[in-house]
Structure 1
Amino acid sequence: MSTVPLEQIVQELQHVAQQLVSVQTQIRELEGTIAHLSNQSSDSAIYQQVGPLLVQVDDIDALTESLSETCNQLSNHATNLEQKESELRTSYETAVKQFEAQ
């Protein structure tokens, strides 16, 4: 067994770990935003960024629902990434054992 597959596993593991951190950060930001929206009074002006513009949101409930759906989708993606990371760690450990056995 050459070191190339081991190196590929390491690179992919690092990439997946970076993606997972990024997705988890996005989830925390969305959860914070949703919590903040729930504390706003109904007469407060809420703005949403659309491209380079900030536009006033007319339906805060719809915005909250949209953010919740996005958060759920990201949570599902994070779960998939965690599973992939676990599989890669197992592959890495197996590859290291095979390499050491040579």
Structure 2
Amino acid sequence: MFVISLIPYLATFVANNPNSLLSESLYDLDFILIDIILFAMSRYLMKINDDNEYLAKVVDLKNAIVIPFILLIIGFIVGFLGYPIAISVVCLITIIRSIVYSLR
């Protein structure tokens, strides 16, 4: 919960410093940590309820967790290569993708 609670503060930090690599990096690292925690919790939930077919269908680890994680890592690398706003763009793409995926 602590990592998730940092999103509004880091978003404000990015809004006030749009070209700062530090603010963009912290924003992306927060999303990466959230994705790692979500992956661990999902794996643990699947391990506990391995006979639940509905849960296996709902918690699709590849589409819901791994692909956004790869997008976040790509944005992080592109941001360090010289375009700091790329980190925020990739985070927003990941958020939109997660919302669209959850509405299915």
Give the TM-score taking structure 2 as reference length. Answer: 0.48
- Pick the structure with more helix per residue: 2
**Larger radius of gyration, structure 1 or 2?**
1
| Higher fraction of strand | 1
TM-score, normalised to structure 1's length?
A: 0.49
> Which structure would you say has the larger RCO, counting Cα contacts within 8 Å and 6 or more residues apart?
1
